[in-house]
A and B are shown apart, each in its own frame.
Chain A
Amino acid sequence: MNAGKIASVILLTLSLLGCANLDEVREYATESAKFSAYTELTTRFRDTYEREQPYLSGEPAQHAQENDRRRKAAYNDLLKIHRGVALYMQTLAILAGEDTFSLSGEIDSLAGGIKAYPDLGIDAKHVDALAGITNTVTKWISASRQQNAVRNMVREGHEPLQTTLDGMNSLIRYYRKTNENEHKTVLGFFEVEMLFLDAPEDKLLEALARAHLQNKVREYSQAQQKYDNAEQGIMRIAEGHRKLFEGIDKLSSAEIRSAISKFAKDIKSVRQNLQYVHE
């Protein structure tokens, strides 16, 4: 085998090694970072008083005001939890990004820079060869650096992330339970008062109350769906990261890649369902 063939075999081997294949990881992290149902439900939790206030009077109204003050005080800390997870996912997506560790732009400028001075005695063939070899070698170096960076992040991030997601799920449960109490206060008010509307002069009032009640029933059933979706989404994010953590040493295996990709798609479709609930 002549030197040229040997060189091309080496180049081919290096370029195959150079593929980091982190598309699925990036896809998963990007979708997870976009998942913001928690934030919306945190805001809904903060605004509980605004919705229940017209139906309260006396002692429960005062108590509700005090609860309102405390929910508003906790709001920023509750949001911070989500921002920590979103920032982690964004950073993971950038780490797994196609261009993050790529030096090819710099290598092009290297080749271009030398070509710009042909009178300096470096001929075009040399430049191409040099750029080609540098490209392949740096690609290989950067791909392994990238794999290592992603592995380290997933390994070290796994435990704090799972704990945080678990906490977010508990919080969603408290939001839901608070919302159920609000829902029963509002609908319960109508249920009680409407039972006393039997005089003929109450017809108009009764019709108005029924129309308002219909809207409220719809609003609370949509809210229920949001809590369901948020819980599903957070669960998928947690499961996806677990799969990533378990398969961290075989990220290029077809099984791990298709599993991670499926989580990314699930998270995306839960997010889209949520948008649908809004419309």
Chain B
Amino acid sequence: MALKNQKQVEAFADNITACADDIHGRLIEAIKDKKIDQMTAQQIFQNEASLRQHANTLYIDAANFVVDGLGESHTSLIDLIGSARESIRTMEKMAGTIGLIANLILLAAAACTAKPGPILSAMKAVQSDILALNNSREPLSDGIDDLAGDSSANHTAIIRT
């Protein structure tokens, strides 16, 4: 493409649009002054519309330039969202740890009383806490993997919805 960047493409498209506007003004004047017939007017209007389509093609090019230019920023944002979610997950693990501590206190207290019932139930609770802590949460498909596209970002989305 002869035009190298987004700004050049936009400026060129703006010029083409301005030409179309100019042609339209002259066309309306000519019709009002009865200088042209309907067929000629329609022909000129087609040319005007054609110019507008050319300008619109260039606006699509400019938009594609923007999309390509944002690739790196997009990847940074998605990576950042992944690590923010990681820090939330750490907090959730910490919450799980508090439950574990509570059950450990119970187990210790139960052990002192030497009653099998409370000891067994406290042990079961501790076991399930540890299992829960070790099992990573199910990833949620809320768009982050899709958004990451081909980038190397591969985060596990863990936020509760």
Contacts and interface: CB of A to CB of B under 8 A. Distances in A.
Interface in B67-121: 67, 69-70, 72-74, 76-78, 80-81, 84-85, 87-88, 91, 94-96, 98-99, 101-103, 105-106, 109-110, 112-113, 118
B141 interface: no
Contacts of A105: 95
> Which bucket holds chain A's interface residue count?
35 or more
B126 to A, nearest CB: 12
Contact of B62 (A58, A60, A122, A174): A174
A59 B66 contact: no
Contact of A181 (B31, B55, B70): B55
A91 B161 CA distance: 11
A153 B105 contact: no
Contacts of B59: 174, 177-178
Highest count of chain A CB atoms <10 Å: which of B6, B45, B77: B77
A131 B104 CA distance: 15
A17 interface: no
* Binding site secondary structure of chain A: helix
Contact of B42 (A48, A80, A160, A192): A192
Interface string A212-225: 00000000000000
Given A120-B106, A178-B56, A101 B84 contact: no
B121 to A, nearest CB: 9
Interface string A152-196: 110011011101100100110110011011101100110110011
A157 to B, nearest CB: 5
A156 B75 CA distance: 12
B146 to A, nearest CB: 8
A83 interface: yes
Contact of B70 (A87, A91, A164, A195): A164
B8 interface: no
B20 A181 contact: yes
Interface in B30-69: 31-32, 38, 41-42, 45-46, 48-50, 52-57, 59-60, 62-64, 66-67, 69
B132 interface: no
Interface in A35-81: 48, 55-60, 63-64, 66-67, 70-71, 74, 77-78, 80-81
B159 A160 contact: no
Interface of B: 6, 10, 13-14, 17, 20-21, 24, 27-28, 31-32, 38, 41-42, 45-46, 48-50, 52-57, 59-60, 62-64, 66-67, 69-70, 72-74, 76-78, 80-81, 84-85, 87-88, 91, 94-96, 98-99, 101-103, 105-106, 109-110, 112-113, 118, 142-144, 147, 149, 159
Given A83-B143, A109-B99, A114-B102, 5 more contacts: A88-B81, A94-B88, A149-B84, A181-B56, A188-B48
